[in-house]
């Protein structure tokens, strides 16, 4: 469950990215965040991932007010979250396998589990052949899918994805969306930021439209 109560975000440069945003995503719901470039979609997801903090208002995730989370509890919080980033955030000098395994390794998962789950996640995004490749040897779309595999490998409770299909062709984009839907079907809360409205229509899920830092009706 994700809940924003009159959340405002002003960046240090004075830019107001969000103005009094209130929204709610139910547990196990699949929601799209839509809006023009610069509307504030990424800002909302960053607040959920605690990569940014709100200037005003409260962000509640899984019943927890994120402002009251002590610093030492943040790693464990992030481990229950799957995040796909607009700019991938991969370790470019490490093989695909290591990148996807990282969330499990930092969670001290047993070795046998790691191997099984990394391969399963890579299989789901169609990259099982590339386990040993370096991200720099992959296409941008393939890198994006590595990021998706990394986000889902830890079986997160909440999955947030920022333009996960931005560099993928229609077929692959639909595959990724179906993968996310399968997660939703087993109870994961999924939030996908995109400006691909045709994708939203095709999947027919609820969408929250952001316009210039505000939720529009």
Which residue, 46 or 145, has its beta carbon nearer to other proteins?
Answer: 46
- Report if residue 34 touches Mg ion, rule: CB under 5 A: no
- Binds 38: which of ligand ATP, other proteins, Mg ion, none (CB < 5-8 Å by kind): ligand ATP
Which residue, 155 or 195, has its beta carbon nearer to Mg ion?
Answer: 195
Strand residues in 2-157 grouped as ranges (E): 2-10, 16-25, 30-34, 56-61, 64-65, 81-84
Q: How far is the CB of 86 from Mg ion (least distance, A)?
A: 5
- Binds 35: which of other proteins, Mg ion, ligand ATP, none (CB < 5-8 Å by kind): ligand ATP
- Strand 206-211 and strand 30-34: the pairing is parallel
Q: How far is the CB of 170 from other proteins (least distance, A)?
A: 27
User: What track of x and - describes contact with other proteins for positions 151 through 190 (by CB under 8 A)?
Assistant: ---x------------------------------------
CA distances from 109 to 17, 80, 103, 154 (A): 37, 13, 9, 9
Binding other proteins by CB under 8 A: which of 54, 103, 164, 213? 103
List of residues 6+ apart from 206 with CB closer than 8 A: 29, 30, 31, 32
- Report if residue 84 touches other proteins, rule: CB under 8 A: no
- Residue found by looking up tokens 């990282």 in the block: 102
Note whether 8 and 20 are within 8 A (CB): yes
Radius of gyration of the chain (CA): 17
In the complex, the residues that contact ligand ATP under the rule CB under 6 A are 11, 13, 15, 17, 35, 37-43, 86, 195
- Strand 206-211 and strand 189-193: the pairing is unpaired
Q: Which residue is closest to Mg ion by CB?
A: 42
The residues of the shown chain that bind Mg ion, judged by CB under 5 A, are: 42
């Amino acid at each position: 469950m994700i809940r924003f109560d009159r959340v405002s975000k002003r960046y240090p440069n004075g830019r107001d990215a969000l103005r009094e945003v209130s929204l709610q995503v139910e547990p196990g719901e699949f929601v799209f965040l839509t809006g023009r470039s610069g509307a504030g979609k990424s800002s909302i997801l960053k607040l959920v991932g605690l990569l940014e903090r709100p200037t005003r208002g409260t962000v509640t995730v899984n019943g927890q007010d994120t402002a009251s989370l002590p610093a030492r509890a943040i790693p464990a919080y992030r481990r229950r979250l799957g995040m796909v980033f607009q700019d991938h955030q991969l370790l470019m000098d490490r093989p695909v396998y290591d990148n996807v395994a990282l969330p499990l390794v930092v969670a001290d998962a047993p070795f046998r589990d790691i191997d099984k789950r990394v391969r399963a996640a890579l299989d789901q995004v169609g990259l099982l052949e590339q386990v040993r490749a370096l991200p720099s040897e992959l296409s941008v779309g393939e890198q994006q899918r590595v990021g998706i595999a990394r986000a889902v490998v830890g079986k997160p409770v909440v999955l947030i994805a920022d333009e996960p299909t931005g560099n993928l062709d229609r077929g692959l984009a639909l595959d990724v969306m179906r993968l996310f839907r399968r997660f939703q079907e087993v109870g994961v809360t999924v939030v996908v930021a995109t400006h691909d409205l045709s994708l939203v229509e095709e999947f027919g899920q609820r969408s929250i439209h952001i316009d210039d830092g505000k939720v529009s009706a």
